[in-house]
Amino acid sequence: EVQLLESGGGLVQPGGSLRLSCSASGFTFSNYAMTWVRQAPGKGLEWVSTISGGGGSTYYADSVKGRFTISRDNSKNTVFLQMSSLRVEDTAVYHCAKGPLYDYWGQGTLVTVSS
Amino acid sequence: QSALTQPASVSGSPGQSITISCTGTSSDVGGYNYVSWFQQHPGKVPKLIIYDVTKRPSGVSNRFSGSKSGNTASLTISGLQAEDEADYYCSSYTSINPWVFGGGTKLTVL
């Protein structure tokens, strides 16, 4: 059974940093791209970042480029999202999703950016 | 990158069919056969219901179908049921970045 479990969310002040983790199980992790998708309260889905299976290719939405860094550790079946220079508008539930179809999603972790 | 355009809301009565549109450009919807649709009930995680424009994952009802014409993709739900009331999102591969989502459509079953 495929499982994705995010962690690392919380309350942070504007300008602060957080590191999200997504632990995966139930599939050959290194064979699949992984993606972070966020959903602000009461809003729609927003693609944030994708990393290839081997980790050699990374992609970012314009809204987070230069501030967020995606990475993965295939030995630990985990994908990370390092978030810095956080803004109020980054407040959202952050989900990791299994690529390329996004056929499995984690429950998400809430990031709140507020002073 | 701009989100794909979806109607904010659609509605239908039980047993009817409804269609949700998803309009993009030749750089996304029109350029690739990689359109997906997701269903999201309140407080729940999005569920993949259509991928590659027309394909249904195992376990998804055949009342859900997808299509595409030019830069517009469509999701049709036939034999509408109360449990279909949810938010629906389209997404597409793009030439600029891997993926873009639509703004979402709230389906109300009357």
SS (H, E, C) A31-99: HCCEEEEEECCCCCEEEEEEECCCCCCEEECCCCCCCEEEEEECCCCEEEEEECCCCHHHCEEEEEEEC
What pLDDT is attached to residue B98?
81
- How many beta carbons lie within 10 A of that of residue B19, not counting itself? 14
In Å, how far from its chain's centre is CA B50?
A: 7
Q: To the nearest 10°, the Cα dihedral for A110, B9, B50, B103?
A: -50
DSSP character for B2? P
Check whether B1 has a pLDDT greater than 80: no
Residues of chain A in contact with residue B101, where contact means CB-CB under 8 angstroms, are 37, 44-47
Note whether B7 contacts A: Cβ–Cβ < 8 A. no
Q: Which of B46, B51, B57 shows the shortest C-beta gap to A45?
A: B46
Pairwise CB contact (< 8 Å): A44 & B57 = no
Q: Which residue has the tokens 């998708």?
A: A37
Check whether B30 has a pLDDT greater than 70: yes
Note whether B37 contacts A: Cβ–Cβ < 8 A. no
Q: Which of B1, B45, B98 shows the shortest C-beta gap to A107?
A: B45
Q: Bigger pLDDT: B96 or B53? A: B53
> pLDDT tens for residues A68-108?
999 999 999 999 999 999 999 999 999 999 988 899 999 99
Pairwise CB contact (< 8 Å): A47 & B57 = no
Pairwise CB contact (< 8 Å): A45 & B57 = no
Q: Which of B38, B97, B103 shows the shortest C-beta gap to A59?
A: B97
Shortest distance between the Cα of A76 and any Cα of chain B, in A, equals: 24
Shortest distance between the Cα of A44 and any Cα of chain B, in A, equals: 6
Give the separation between CA A16 and CA B41, rounded to whole angstroms: 32
> pLDDT tens for residues B71-87?
999 999 999 999 999 99
